[in-house]
Each structure stands twice: as structure tokens, then as C-alpha cells.
A and B are shown apart, each in its own frame.
Chain A
């Protein structure tokens, strides 16, 4: 099994499944894509019988109504064009790339379908399928087996939830926090996490994600899948959601990754919301001209883009966008000089006068003259500075700005500012600065994921901050997962619709109203904080 798992290519499976879908679609005559939310085209379990002459109606339908549809399907399939047959051939070709061990497993899945014919015929068919080639797959028996196999495993509603997370690798810790949050949500809902949830390790790479997804689909027959913490994983999972009509809740950071599928949803804090809120606040604070200082690590590229766009759309301007190397004093100093136009070449006359004055002052005071003491007066042609970086960097920038002669400068920040370290010990240079976060008061978090607060509901034990962030993410996605699967009798095709239509009453860590935006992004609240006199206060959103 392990060997098989290691070598199984989910892309192959996907294409295989896609072929099944195509086949199914061809067989049923239904469209493969629909624009509306009513997903009536969800594949229905198919039962088929393959003979040497062709496909016949199966003796026993698997599910209510299945026989009728299967008959139709088989009929349609028998009339499949050569073109469709080619698609099937491609599907089988892909199927051939998976390991024999997995093929056996997959076929075992198909055995309950009870293919007609003698034992030897079945064996022959299996053998044929195992060794299928471009030619052999054209054999109707093989085709029939493929259809049986695929249709059987991708269309059932089991109420099981598949979770794919990088439990090993750099994001293992975050994954564990997410799982912890999920468990909290299950406990809160009175559900048994271990019974309902199957967790797979993606190891943070696409291949492993495909493999895990294949197992969840074909082996565990889950009803929905959650995961995609790494972008690479999300990119793998996203197409399957649509192709397999499999409800998929993605944990991707990138809201633009592509949420075209009706079956894919994104459940994650939203930087765009943060940026929009900050831009609005900046305009309301009469700070239309903003400079962006961002670290060269690219971690803040997205929010910087969103903020710039939001500010521009609100009528503001980004007057400069400067990058610094974090923890590099010279880089930050250079940023300061650039920001305030402290350029001794361009302002040579001014510098010369300052130099002479400093020298005279030193003589009068009987002090040694030191040219390093000369700093040209800063030129400030902007209203505020957006620094999407951690509180530590902000503290140092505040001191650097003061060093350059500024007494005050409004600063704008993101969730990384939120820390006791921002205000302790307090620097009044930060007075009036604002930042946005996706968590408001820690005191209002679910009891099961709350962490000790540091004397204020706005701060938790610093070592718990990351844990709380990801627990809350896990909690929220699990909430939606349990919501979607809570009715075991519901048809799977309705799960996505259910999610889109469900609304929060505001008591379950979601803002009142729909859980998702029309673009399938979950609605995460954004909180705006202001720093004042060494304390934080939450401002009304949108100020």
C-alpha cells in the first residue's frame, strides 16, 4: 500500500476521473459544466455489465434510480463517438501509469459492483484492464470496468471529510494548530473528529497532495476535502474540485489563486479585506498620500498591492514604494534617507551650511566636531507610511524616523503589528498609528482555542499567537465542513450549494450573514486598531 501510495499519481487519477466524468457525461448526455448553482449534474452511481458484445444493463442497481440511469448511460456510451472513445483511451493510458498495486486496490473498489459474467470472464477483464493498452482499452469490457470503477467512487456522499495538510515540513506546526482548531469545532458540535475526518499528510508538495487526494477519493470516498495550506497544494486540489464535483475547502493564502470552480471555496483570512480597511481608514484620517515601506522578503507583496489598489480607488496616492532588507541597519538607514530626501549631494548647499554651523557650535561649546552629527532636515511630502511588517521593525523605524528629526509621522500597519512589544515600552511616536487584524478581541474566541491574555483582551501570550491564528483558521474551516456534511441523507451535489446559501447568526465566530462572498471567499471580519497613549483600541470597521 505504501509503495503504491508513494507512486500513485493523482494527476493520472484525476485524468482518469475526468475521463469517467466525460464518459458519464457522454453516457448521460448531460453537460459537464453548468453555470448555475444547482448541481444536478452530480454523477450518479453507475452499475454496468460488460460483455464481449458490449455493455448491458446491470442485474442489480446499487442505488435507488441507479439502474435506470445506468441503462441510459450504457446506451449512450455504446453510442459514443470515436472521439469520446479516444478520450477514454487517454484515460486508460493514464490509468496505466499508476502502479499495479493501486490498480488492484482501485479494482477492488470496483468488485462490489459485481461485474457480470463468469469468474474467468471477470478475471480476464481485470487482467485485460490491468494490462490495458491503447488498444485494449477500446475493448468494451475494459471500458465498462473503468466506468464502473470511476463512477462508483466519485459520486457518493459519505459524510466523511478528507483533510490534506503538510504535517511534515516547514508548515507542520501550522498544520497541527489547524487540526487542533478543527477538533475544537468538532467537539463543540458534538461530533467525533476521528470517526468522520481522514487526515492525510501532503508533505507540502504537489505529488504527495495528489496521492493523498486520490486515496481520499478512491479509498476513503470522502464527501468533501479540506487543505491547500501551501499554494502548491491548493493548485493541485483546485482542478479536482470541479472535475470530480468534489466540494473542496481551500486554506490558500492567495485569494486570486482561481476560484472558478463551483465546488471550491476559500476559507482563510483575507489580506485584501485588511488592505481595503486600512486604505479606507487612511483616507478618513486625511492621509491620502502614503508611502509603502515593505520588506524585501516578499511576504508583504500582496497586501502592499491590495493596499495600493484600494487607496488609489479611494482617491489616494502611493507616493513611493521602498524596500528594505529586514534586520539590516544600513538598508533601513538608507530607506530613511531616501524617504526624507536626506541627500547631501542633491542638497549640497544646505549640507554645507549645516556643516559650518555644526562646526562653529562645536567650537563655541568646546566640543570635538563630529560630522556624523549633521543630519539634514527631513523633507516630508507624504501623509503616512504603510509598513506591513512586524512590530519590531515598526519600533525600529519609529526610532529611525525620530533620529531623522521627525517628531511624529502617522504609521499604518498590518496584523503583524499586534503585540505587546508594539506598545511596551511605549514610544509616543506611534501615537495615532493604525493597523488592521483579522482577529478582534481574544476574549471572544471559542473557549476551546482561547489562550491566556496578557493583561488585555487584545493580546495573548506571544508564544500562543501563531497557534491561536491557525487554530482559529482550523476552527472556522471545520465549522463549515461540519455544516456542509451534517445531513447524511443529503446528496453530495448539494453540499456546495448548501455552503453558499448558509448564513451565520453571528454566534459562531462568523459575522452575521452568508459565510461566503459570491467569489467563494469566506467572509473574515477585519478589525481596525489604533495606538494611543500606550494602549490599543478597536475602531469601528471602516471608521
Chain B
């Protein structure tokens, strides 16, 4: 009986044990600890951190990146051993020997916990942390811990230790938007990971436990203390000698202030590229980030640098204008003006384009990106002033007017519009060319009247103005607002023998897999002939004269290789110089964002031209200006600049063959030669 009872009890115990075991197994199985599914494993192994979208200049150098989280993936082999050691020393000293979890480490942590201390080293192995990050939630329960351990064990059976280190080092958040040691190295020390020193590597290794708590940018002392813990852990793990450890502990950490790459080379351009890429890919702004896109652009880093320097070195000039900006407008009603008497910041912007292919080479949107991210070349609508005049004169030349045609310069009125012209220009006569290079207003309006407002507006659109123009005569003197990009399009057309090329900033975009998902149209597909080469050449010669003897005379030394036109809107609110050589168009604008006047006789010739000159002079050293070659059917003649007749002492003018003025003398000159006696002085005394 007793035996039976014993047997029964034994059986019962067995059955119960089996049942419990089965139940525990079932419990564990339900937790999934015995089942590291293929999907889960794949999730870990094939995890590819979202890559930044990168922006490259025309030479393939990186100038910008678009991301939400900053990743720089490094295969295990690229991770410096010192960094690996530092991670292991502080996070998982037994990593190389345990099978996924570390009972000693758990015990050590538990003891520390029971003593009421804080563990310098976590209880979780690197493998556990990976499992936790990739597969599990962050809840602190026994079940989750069991799951973590079980899955870690299974993961260790499936992949080798190095792969685990690689995954760990690349995927964990390390603060300041950086994911992985590669990104952290750039964020905190501004250099690639293979250039990190041991103390620097130790700092990064210390971040894994709590990136925010040890963020060097915010808590440098805490970060240093944590780094020291790492170094000491490395010493205890015999990864460092005592001497080295002491030495490393003494070394100060030199952080490099984090400056986003986007702001380093061409911040306004990168912004523009972002906008353009979004339009080209028809996506929302956020979706460009971390898509691993490779955006290849047209930016010329060298020219961009020159443009930045040109603005920097024009500081004195711009500061002088600054002192005169907006001072007097309390007495006058000015659109866009702020409170009476307040002073606006004088801004400047530069935009350069290769007129042959429309590629944007430089874009400086303002004097200081940190102060203002307003990208003036493409976002600011400003009055071009006289920089609009080439549009009218090009139409006139196309309509059979000639540079030698004479206009009597007297006040003009169009409806109620009476353009202001300096009195000194009144009661004179002038050829079209002289009116152009001296930027005289009333002859331009008169010419515009004869051509008609609508044809002029059409000509503006034809040449490249995309901004809407007001259908009023003031537009002829540049009162309608346009962008610098509009003007770049127009002037590039003149530079390119009458062929308008649509400007581009992006040549192609590749996706993360290297597939081209956008490619810019070929130059031919973006090119439209809108002027004959002959008319374009005539305009170019007129604009060379602007430099040689007109409103751009301050830069007359460039007249042999460049052409351009000044522009000044009312009271110097906007100051332009738009100029070009056959292979480089550059638009410079100076003004205030508040549309305030700049007093003190500032003009486009005095404010924008010096900057243009500065930049072009430098640019020509690396981008040799090509000569302006006359197309067939062009002839030149020496013509009197005021009276339009052939004169050996006149100025050089160009004409379509057969349209040059005849060799007849001018009645106006004959009159002029009479002096005070008068014309046909038969009755004078």
C-alpha cells in the first residue's frame, strides 16, 4: 500500500512536473523565446539604417544632406578597435565569451542595485540590447526580460559576434540626431570615426547608456565623467595600460561645434535644391529626408566660395549703405516701410549661371544664412529698375531700330506717368545707344511707347521673366517686381547669342539603390531661340558700352570681356548689376528686405557693381572669359553718340549689315557747331 501510494505520489509528481514543465514551455513558447522567426532575424540582419539624402556639387563633392536621423553606416572592419573595446568595456565586458546573456553581469548589477548603487555597466549584453531595440518593447517586465535573454541566446547562435558589434555600433541613437558611432563621430568631433583618438572613442562609447544625459554639447562635465568611466573600464578589462589610461584621462576633450553641412558650402543653394528636388519628385518636404537620395547639382564650389568672399569683402560698402538705409522715410510714404525711422538691414545676393547650359553655378542668398534664410535670388520679388531696359532695347533693335537712331530728350508723359529723369539729361539729343548706356529714362519710355506696352511685356516673358509683370508703363522702367533668377534667365539669353536656356540646379537624382529617378533635360531640350544672334550681339555691345562709358564705368576695365547693365529702383530701394561674359552670367542685388530706400546717392552702379566686379574678376581667373564673337551680318561704324551720324571721332557702334547710318553729316551736329550763333545764322549779329 505504501508502495502504491508512493508510486502514485511519484507518478503524480511526475505528471505534475511534466505538466508544469510543459506549461512553462508553453508559456515560454508563447512568449516566443524559442522561436526567433526568420522575419525577426531578417529584421535585425537586414536592417539598413535610413540613409541621408545627399547633395553633391558639380564635381561630386558633398555640399548638403537631408535627414531626420543622422546615419553614417560603418561595417565592422571600419570601426576602430579602440572604439569596439571601449563599447565592450563599458557595455558588455564578457561579450566575446557569453552566449547572449551574462549571468555574472546580471548578478553584478543586481548586487549593485541591492546595495542601492548605480551600475556603471548595464546588465544587458550588447546582444540583448539589439534584441530589445529591434524586436521588443521597452517595458520593464520579467516576461520581457526572459524574452530578451532567450532571443539574445538564439541570435548569438545565428550570427557571429562581429556582426552583432556592427549592428550595435551602427544602429543605436547617440544624441544630436546621430545614430551609430560614425554619425556621432561627425556630430561631436567633426571627423570620421577612423580619426578618433582613444579618449574620443571612449566618449562616444559612453553615450550608448544615455545619449541625452551625457550629451557633450549640453552637459560637457557629465560627458567627461562618463568618458573617464569608460577609460577606467577599459583599463580594468586590460584593454589599456595604466599609463595610457592615466594619459587619456588627462587629455582634454575638444569638441567641434556642430555645423550642419548644409550651411557650410552653399546653404541657400542647398535650400533651393531641396525645393527643386521636392518639385521634381513631386513629394512632400519631409520625404526627401533619409531616403538615401543622391542629388547631383550644378554648383561650382570654387565660384561659390568666390561669391561668398566677394560679399564678405564688400562689408564696408554694404555697411556704408546700411547707415543710409531707411533713415529718411519717416517723411515719405513708402511701400513696405516699417515703423517710422527704423533702420533696415542692407542685404545682398549673388546668382551666377552658365549661360550656355543654364546651370546655376553660385547662389548666395544673403549676407548671413544664420541671420536670414530668405533665399533672395529665387524668393525675393524686387524692382529691377533700369536693369529691365535691355528688354525694351532688344525689342526695339529687333523692330528695326538702330543704335544710331536719335531721340530728343525732353520730359515725357504717358497717361499720368511721368518718369523722373535728371534735369541734366534734359534738352539734349541722344542716340539709342547713348540713352542705353547712360540709362536715360525718358528715351526709354518714349521708345517703349512706340513699341507698345503689350509687345514689351511679351518680350520680357520671351526673354525669361516668369514673374507676373504689371501692364503699366512703369514696368518699362522696371517698377514690376521680378526675381534674380528671372534676370539671370534674361541676361543669359543675351550672353548665349539669343538662346534662352532654362536654368537648372539639379542634373540628376538617384535613389538609395543607385537608380536614376530624375535626370535633367538636355541643354537642347531646355533651349529656345528667342533672339537672333545678331540682335543679341548688338545688345551685348550696348551692354559692353555700359561698362566702357556708361553707368558701369567704374568697372570699365572689364568692358573688354564682359557686358552688363545697372539697375536702380526708386530712391535706391533696389540696386542691381546684371552682367555676363559668354560663359558666365552673374546677377547681383543689394537692398533691404523691407523695401526701404537707401539714401546717399547709392545706385546699382555704386552698390551692386563693385560686388559684381569683385566676383567676376575672381571668377575670370578660373573661368576664363570667352570673347564676344560677332555673328555674320554685323558691321561696325564710328558714330557720333548724340547725333547718330558717322563720325571718325564718334563711338563704335554695331549694326546689322546695311543698316549702318550713311556717311551724311548731322543737322544737329551742324547746329551744335554753330555754337551760340544759331543755325542758319543769316540774321544774327
Instruction: For B479, give the chain A residue with the smallest CB separation.
Output: A367
- Judged by a CB distance under 8 angstroms, whether A327 is at the interface is yes
**Interface pair A368/B683, CB less than 8 Å apart:** no
- A436 → B minimal CB distance (Å): 12
We find that the number of chain A residues with CB closer than 8 angstroms to chain B is: 60
Majority-rule SS of B interface residues: loop
Report A413-427 CB contacts with B as 1/0, cut-off 8 Å: 001101111001101
- Judged by a CB distance under 8 angstroms, whether A256 is at the interface is no
- Judged by a CB distance under 8 angstroms, whether B302 is at the interface is no
Say whether, besides A368-B570, A465-B680, A329 and B668 are in contact (CB < 8 Å). Answer: no
Task: Identify B682's interface contact among A269, A330, A369, CB under 8 A.
Answer: A269
Stretch from B12-20, B400-408, B461-469 at the A interface = B400-408
Say whether, besides A370-B420, A399-B412, A466 and B680 are in contact (CB < 8 Å). Answer: yes
Q: Across the interface, which residues of B come within 8 angstroms of A420, CB to CB?
A: 667
Alpha-carbon distance A302/B423, docked complex (angstroms): 32
Instruction: For B673, give the chain A residue with the smallest CB separation.
Output: A463
- A99 → B minimal CB distance (Å): 32
**Interface pair A418/B680, CB less than 8 Å apart:** yes
**Interface pair A403/B479, CB less than 8 Å apart:** no
Alpha-carbon distance A370/B472, docked complex (angstroms): 16
Alpha-carbon distance A253/B678, docked complex (angstroms): 15
Say whether, besides A454-B664, A463-B670, A469 and B678 are in contact (CB < 8 Å). Answer: no
**Interface pair A403/B668, CB less than 8 Å apart:** no
**Interface pair A253/B685, CB less than 8 Å apart:** yes
- Judged by a CB distance under 8 angstroms, whether A392 is at the interface is yes
**Interface pair A462/B411, CB less than 8 Å apart:** no
Say whether, besides A368-B570, A375-B418, A402-B413, A462 and B678 are in contact (CB < 8 Å). Answer: no
Say whether, besides A367-B479, A373-B418, A329 and B427 are in contact (CB < 8 Å). Answer: yes
Report B657-677 CB contacts with A as 1/0, cut-off 8 Å: 000000011111111001011
Report B558-579 CB contacts with A as 1/0, cut-off 8 Å: 0000000000001000000000
Q: Across the interface, which residues of B come within 8 angstroms of A463, CB to CB?
A: 665, 670
Instruction: For B442, give the chain A residue with the smallest CB separation.
Output: A399
Task: Identify B408's interface contact among A298, A396, A416, A419, CB under 8 A.
Answer: A396
- Judged by a CB distance under 8 angstroms, whether B416 is at the interface is yes
Say whether, besides A396-B427, A400-B411, A462-B665, A373 and B683 are in contact (CB < 8 Å). Answer: no
- A-B contact number at CB 8 A: 126
Task: Identify B685's interface contact among A231, A333, A367, A461, CB under 8 A.
Answer: A231
Alpha-carbon distance A328/B410, docked complex (angstroms): 12
Task: Identify B333's interface contact among A369, A403, A454, A469, CB under 8 A.
Answer: A369
**Interface pair A391/B667, CB less than 8 Å apart:** yes
Q: Which of A400, A421, A454 has the most CB of B within 10 A?
A: A421
Say whether, besides A372-B420, A403-B411, A462 and B405 are in contact (CB < 8 Å). Answer: no
Alpha-carbon distance A298/B683, docked complex (angstroms): 10
Alpha-carbon distance A302/B683, docked complex (angstroms): 9
Task: Identify B679's interface contact among A174, A333, A416, CB under 8 A.
Answer: A416
Alpha-carbon distance A297/B678, docked complex (angstroms): 10
Q: Which of A269, A390, A420 has the most CB of B within 10 A?
A: A390
Q: Across the interface, which residues of A come within 8 angstroms of B682, CB to CB?
A: 253, 269, 415, 438, 469-470, 473
**Interface pair B411/A299, CB less than 8 Å apart:** no
Task: Identify A299's interface contact among B334, B426, B667, B681, CB under 8 A.
Answer: B681
Say whether, besides A392-B429, A425-B405, A403 and B418 are in contact (CB < 8 Å). Answer: yes
Which residues of chain A in 298-315 are interfacial with respect to chain B, using CB atoms and an 8 Å cutoff? 298-300, 302-303
Which residues of chain A in 385-421 are interfacial with respect to chain B, using CB atoms and an 8 Å cutoff? 389-392, 395-396, 399-400, 402-403, 405, 415-416, 418-421
Instruction: For A454, give the chain B residue with the smallest CB separation.
Output: B664
- Judged by a CB distance under 8 angstroms, whether B625 is at the interface is no
Q: Across the interface, which residues of A come within 8 angstroms of B406, CB to CB?
A: 424-425
Majority-rule SS of A interface residues: helix
**Interface pair B685/A391, CB less than 8 Å apart:** no
- Judged by a CB distance under 8 angstroms, whether A106 is at the interface is no
Task: Identify B669's interface contact among A367, A389, A427, A462, CB under 8 A.
Answer: A462
Q: Across the interface, which residues of A come within 8 angstroms of B334, CB to CB?
A: 368
**Interface pair B664/A330, CB less than 8 Å apart:** no
- B508 → A minimal CB distance (Å): 42
**Interface pair B413/A329, CB less than 8 Å apart:** no
Q: Across the interface, which residues of A come within 8 angstroms of B674, CB to CB?
A: 466
Q: Across the interface, which residues of A come within 8 angstroms of B479, CB to CB?
A: 367
We find that the number of chain B residues with CB closer than 8 angstroms to chain A is: 42
**Interface pair A375/B678, CB less than 8 Å apart:** no
- A138 → B minimal CB distance (Å): 45
- Judged by a CB distance under 8 angstroms, whether B138 is at the interface is no
- Judged by a CB distance under 8 angstroms, whether B514 is at the interface is no
Which residues of chain A in 349-398 are interfacial with respect to chain B, using CB atoms and an 8 Å cutoff? 358, 361, 365-370, 372-373, 375, 389-392, 395-396
Which residues of chain B in 628-681 are interfacial with respect to chain A, using CB atoms and an 8 Å cutoff? 664-671, 674, 676-681
- Judged by a CB distance under 8 angstroms, whether A271 is at the interface is yes
- Judged by a CB distance under 8 angstroms, whether A206 is at the interface is no
**Interface pair B680/A403, CB less than 8 Å apart:** no
Q: Across the interface, which residues of B come within 8 angstroms of A438, CB to CB?
A: 682
Which residues of chain A in 444-472 are interfacial with respect to chain B, using CB atoms and an 8 Å cutoff? 454, 461-463, 465-466, 469-470
- B385 → A minimal CB distance (Å): 13
Q: Across the interface, which residues of B come within 8 angstroms of A224, CB to CB?
A: none
- Judged by a CB distance under 8 angstroms, whether B25 is at the interface is no
Say whether, besides A392-B429, A463-B665, A400 and B680 are in contact (CB < 8 Å). Answer: no
Instruction: For A298, give the chain B residue with the smallest CB separation.
Output: B685
- Judged by a CB distance under 8 angstroms, whether B219 is at the interface is no
Report B381-419 CB contacts with A as 1/0, cut-off 8 Å: 000000000000000000000000111101111001110
Instruction: For B678, give the chain A residue with the smallest CB separation.
Output: A299
**Interface pair B680/A469, CB less than 8 Å apart:** yes
**Interface pair A421/B671, CB less than 8 Å apart:** yes
Alpha-carbon distance A61/B418, docked complex (angstroms): 87
- Judged by a CB distance under 8 angstroms, whether B32 is at the interface is no
Instruction: For B418, give the chain A residue with the smallest CB separation.
Output: A373
**Interface pair A399/B570, CB less than 8 Å apart:** no
**Interface pair A358/B668, CB less than 8 Å apart:** no
Q: Across the interface, which residues of B come within 8 angstroms of A368, CB to CB?
A: 333-335, 570
**Interface pair B668/A461, CB less than 8 Å apart:** no
Instruction: For B569, give the chain A residue with the smallest CB separation.
Output: A368
Q: Across the interface, which residues of B come within 8 angstroms of A253, CB to CB?
A: 682-685
Alpha-carbon distance A373/B679, docked complex (angstroms): 34
Task: Identify B666's interface contact among A297, A358, A370, A421, CB under 8 A.
Answer: A421
**Interface pair A465/B333, CB less than 8 Å apart:** no
Q: Which of B429, B671, B685 has the most CB of A within 10 A?
A: B685
Q: Across the interface, which residues of B come within 8 angstroms of A365, CB to CB?
A: 472
Q: Across the interface, which residues of A come within 8 angstroms of B335, CB to CB?
A: 366, 368
Instruction: For A302, give the chain B residue with the smallest CB separation.
Output: B683
Q: Which of A170, A333, A392 has the most CB of B within 10 A?
A: A392
- Judged by a CB distance under 8 angstroms, whether B474 is at the interface is yes
**Interface pair A297/B681, CB less than 8 Å apart:** no
Alpha-carbon distance A31/B408, docked complex (angstroms): 64
- Judged by a CB distance under 8 angstroms, whether A332 is at the interface is yes
Q: Across the interface, which residues of A come within 8 angstroms of B679, CB to CB?
A: 390-392, 416, 419, 465
Q: Which of B335, B677, B678 has the most CB of A within 10 A?
A: B678
Q: Across the interface, which residues of A come within 8 angstroms of B666, CB to CB?
A: 421, 462
With A297-B678, A396-B427 known, 5 other A-B pairs at CB within 8 A are: A390-B680, A402-B413, A416-B679, A462-B668, A463-B665
Which 9 A-B residue pairs are closest in the complex by CB-CB distance?
A399-B410, A462-B670, A421-B667, A462-B667, A390-B679, A403-B411, A419-B667, A329-B426, A299-B684
Q: Which B residues contact A (CB, under 8 angstroms)?
A: 333-335, 405-408, 410-413, 416-418, 420, 423, 426-427, 429, 472, 474, 479, 570, 664-671, 674, 676-685
Name 9 interchain pairs, CB-CB below 8 A, sorted by A.
Answer: A269-B682, A299-B681, A332-B427, A375-B418, A403-B418, A418-B680, A462-B668, A462-B671, A469-B680
Q: Which A residues contact B (CB, under 8 angstroms)?
A: 170, 174, 230-231, 253, 269, 271, 297-300, 302-303, 327-330, 332-333, 358, 361, 365-370, 372-373, 375, 389-392, 395-396, 399-400, 402-403, 405, 415-416, 418-421, 424-425, 427, 438, 454, 461-463, 465-466, 469-470, 473
